[in-house]
Amino acid sequence: PLGNSVTDTLRELSGADIAMLNTGGLRQAIPAGPVTYEDLFAVLPFSNKGILIGPMPVRRLMELLVRSVRTCGAYSALMQSGIIATFERNCDRSVNGIDPNARLLSVKTVSDRVIYDLERGGLQLPESATFQVATLDFLAAGGSGYDEFRGIALIRDLGIFREILADEFFARPTQFTRVLDGRWRQVGSSAAFKIRTDPK
């Protein structure tokens, strides 16, 4: 839920079609009660910048999502805002923390534009389709092994991610909840796994 909230805020502030962050970037939960800047700093202790990049080809987006659903703890998965993805993964069959047989089943935007549907033949948009994506400079440089971000042009530097979140949350107080909204929907069984944190 916290990942959902911060990626939604990044997408809103940047005007991006999609926002993506790495799960390893969130280092602590937010305690119950009023949230202070110190609480936010504990969650996001690094000075990574929020950036807007694009245009990202739809194939590159799909490669990022596929890499994300394959992890069973070998590296951070992606948190995303702006799309709803259904996938199949079974971490009981993982090799070195990766399920090589994991697959995306469907991907659509929050406005119900279908990007990918395995049962209907795969990609549902033309190869020329592109998106503007908000993310961190850490990921844009290939952090967590997400090399698919590399080479996508910088549109705008938004500033230190933690600071722009703090400004937004103080200007417009946010109610954090424990509710999940199904933006990642897993089909099939999977062993529980622990996400390894990234070095930054």
Annotate 104-133 with three-state secondary structure: EEEEEECCCCEEEEHHHCEECCCCCCEEEE
Name the least confident of 13-22, 40-49, 63-72, 177-186: 177-186
pLDDT digits (tens, 9 = 90+) for 117-151: 999 999 999 999 999 999 999 999 999 999 999 99
Q: State the alpha helices, DSSP H only, in the chain.
A: 2-14, 37-43, 58-70, 137-140, 161-171
Q: How many CB atoms lie within 10 A of CB 148?
A: 20
The answer to whether the predicted template modeling score (pTM) of the entire model surpasses 0.75 is: yes
Given a cut of 60, is residue 113 above it in pLDDT? yes
Segment 33-45 shows an average pLDDT of 93
Q: How confident is the model at residue 8 (pLDDT cuts 50, 70, 90)?
A: very high
% of the chain exceeding 90 in pLDDT: 84
Given a cut of 50, is residue 191 above it in pLDDT? no
Given a cut of 50, is residue 165 above it in pLDDT? yes
Quote the pLDDT of residue 189: 57
